[in-house]
């Protein structure tokens, strides 16, 4: 039996988030014998704590705010949203477990893994530990919140994004520290519920490094909805108070609120994993460096998803996971043809689910050497249907010297959906003029593209 097993190649995947699941399925599809070890359950942090809970909360807040905007009074308590969230999480978990089982992958859930040496790992389960042998491994252990020194989240006054999964009531007065994607999403979500929100960011910009014109627009829209922006201000001290929390900003200002949301960045989840026993060394932020195959510097050891560093997004985790799983199967001696693809992040889109949404792919318009071409749907019908005074979608493209689209940023309705078409344009280096030939549906946010038409409609 062991000879047959060795011939198939044993691939061990650590973590069952988007990266680990994709790696496991890709390795199994190549005929490897795959075991996934997961501390919690299938779906990973994405399903349990981060992506799914935050998006369900945002969807609920948007729907309720939209109902209110039409003059009706929504009456849905937070209890309804929480119950829905729990149901969604269990549905996702069951679907993912079924998918693994169908692919013949063994899932060991509720057990933490630690590497013991080349080809050997220890799985610690509540009912006792056991040893696992492997020919190749994929580390897909994700990331964890990085907290300011001395700050302890308590699930009540000092909150982490993961608390969105369990909080019965969102706080009425909140300070959000961190103006990256997560902080902006949380501030936007809270403002939709009518809460009072102050967003503190260390740098001068919202979403540092993103399109300066569109993020300035987003900042203005959040401010118009009542979000107090405190940008270019360092939060340097936090004091829990009897009925809330105080945040001291550099320069002396002191903010008081019912709760503080900390969204100050993340680190790779590699502590205690025993990577040193394999000869692998994560960087100072806990991230593992990999090449386009997902291979680390150690033979037979692959990594994918958040643990390989920014961008920390699920679509990267899935693509990189699938690639790393296929290469791990090959390295373990499973099927070798055809040669697996490599992961190329050039046309990887990312989105921020604020209201309005922001999405971007490729070169950042307004931040590089490229020319910027702009469009919006002001001249279309979509804003009139939506009852808006201005546009509902704004688009900026980075165009190279040969007139090809190398980057795009969108702000507005459906940005996270529309960005995939622009990712195709970036991946295939479509000339701007060809993009302008498209005839977007009316009314739709895609009407912003019409402004790029060569005949200037």
Ligand X SMILES: Cc1cc2nc3c(=O)[nH]c(=O)nc-3n(C[C@H](O)[C@H](O)[C@H](O)COP(=O)(O)OP(=O)(O)OC[C@H]3O[C@@H](n4cnc5c(N)ncnc54)[C@H](O)[C@@H]3O)c2cc1C
Binding site for ligand X (CB under 6 A): 14-20, 37-40, 44-46, 50-51, 54-55, 112-113, 140-143, 161, 182, 269, 273, 305-307, 312-315, 317, 353
Cα–Cα distance between 188 and 43 in angstroms, integer? 26
Q: Is 455 helix (H, G, I), strand (E, B) or coil?
A: coil
Q: Shortest distance, CB of residue 320 to ligand X, whole angstroms?
A: 8
Q: Can you name the residues that pair with 112 across neighbouring β-strands?
A: 124
Output 41 or 391, the one with its CB closest to ligand X: 41
Output 7 or 281, the one with its CB closest to ligand X: 281
Q: Is 309 left (phi over 0), alpha (psi -120 to 50) or beta?
A: left
Output 105 or 432, the one with its CB closest to ligand X: 105
Q: Shortest distance, CB of residue 390 to ligand X, whole angstroms?
A: 26
Q: Shortest distance, CB of residue 263 to ligand X, whole angstroms?
A: 8
| Contact between residue 305 and residue 15 where contact means Cβ atoms under 8 Å apart | yes
Q: Shortest distance, CB of residue 127 to ligand X, whole angstroms?
A: 16
Q: What is the DSSP annotation of 396-449?
A: EEEE-TTSBEEEEEEEETTHHHHHHHHHHHHHTT-BHHHHTT----SSSGGGGG
Output 306 or 377, the one with its CB closest to ligand X: 306
Q: Shortest distance, CB of residue 102 to ligand X, whole angstroms?
A: 20
Q: Shortest distance, CB of residue 307 to ligand X, whole angstroms?
A: 6
Q: Shortest distance, CB of residue 301 to ligand X, whole angstroms?
A: 14
> Can you read off the two tokens belonging to residue 222?
């959040």
| Element at 249 (helix H, strand E) | strand 244-249
Among the listed residues 174, 233, 224, 175, the one whose alpha carbon sits nearest the alpha carbon of residue 202: 233
Output 8 or 39, the one with its CB closest to ligand X: 39
Output 249 or 419, the one with its CB closest to ligand X: 419
Output 267 or 382, the one with its CB closest to ligand X: 267
Its sign, for the CA torsion 262, 263, 267, 272, is positive
Q: Can you name the residues that pair with 32 across neighbouring β-strands?
A: none
Cα–Cα distance between 89 and 87 in angstroms, integer? 5
């Amino acid at each position: 039996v062991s000879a047959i097993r060795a011939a198939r190649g044993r691939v061990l995947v650590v973590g069952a988030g988007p990266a680990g699941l994709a790696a496991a399925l890709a390795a199994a599809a190549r005929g490897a014998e795959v075991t996934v070890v997961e501390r919690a359950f299938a779906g990973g942090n994405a399903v349990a704590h981060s992506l799914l809970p935050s998006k369900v909360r945002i969807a609920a807040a948007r729907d309720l705010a939209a109902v209110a905007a039409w003059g009706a009074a929504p009456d849905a308590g937070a209890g309804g949203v929480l119950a829905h969230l729990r149901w969604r999480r269990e549905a996702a978990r069951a679907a993912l477990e079924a998918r693994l089982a169908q692919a013949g992958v063994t899932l060991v859930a509720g057990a933490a893994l630690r590497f013991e040496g080349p080809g050997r790992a220890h799985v610690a389960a509540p009912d006792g530990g056991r040893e696992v042998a492997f020919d190749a491994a994929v580390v897909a252990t994700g990331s964890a919140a990085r907290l300011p020194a001395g700050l302890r989240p308590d699930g009540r006054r000092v909150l982490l994004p993961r608390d969105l999964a369990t909080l019965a009531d969102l706080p009425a007065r909140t300070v959000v520290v961190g103006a990256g994607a997560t902080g902006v999403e949380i501030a936007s979500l809270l403002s939709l519920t009518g809460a009072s929100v102050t967003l503190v960011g260390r740098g001068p910009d919202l979403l540092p490094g993103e399109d300066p014109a569109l993020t300035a627009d987003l900042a203005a829209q959040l401010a118009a909805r009542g979000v107090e922006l405190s940008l270019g201000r360092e939060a340097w001290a936090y004091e829990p108070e009897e009925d809330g929390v105080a945040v001291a900003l550099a320069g002396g200002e002191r903010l008081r609120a019912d709760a503080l949301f900390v969204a100050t960045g993340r680190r790779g989840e590699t502590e205690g994993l025993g990577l040193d026993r394999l000869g692998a060394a994560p960087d100072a932020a806990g991230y593992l460096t990999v090449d386009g195959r997902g291979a680390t510097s150690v033979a037979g050891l692959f990594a994918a998803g958040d643990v390989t560093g920014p961008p920390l997004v699920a679509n990267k985790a899935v693509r990189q996971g699938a690639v790393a799983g296929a290469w791990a199967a090959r390295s373990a001696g499973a099927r070798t043809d055809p040669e697996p693809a490599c992961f190329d992040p050039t046309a990887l889109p990312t989105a921020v689910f604020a209201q309005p949404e922001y999405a971007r792919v490729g070169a950042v318009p307004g931040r590089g050497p490229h020319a910027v071409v702009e469009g919006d749907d002001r001249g279309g019908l979509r804003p009139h249907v939506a009852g808006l005074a201005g546009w509902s979608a704004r688009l900026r493209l980075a165009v190279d010297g040969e007139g090809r689209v190398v980057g795009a940023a969108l702000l507005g309705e459906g940005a996270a959906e529309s960005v995939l078409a622009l990712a195709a344009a970036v991946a295939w280096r479509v000339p701007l003029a060809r993009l302008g030939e498209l005839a977007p549906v009316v009314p739709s946010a895609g009407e912003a593209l019409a402004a790029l038409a060569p005949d200037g409609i």
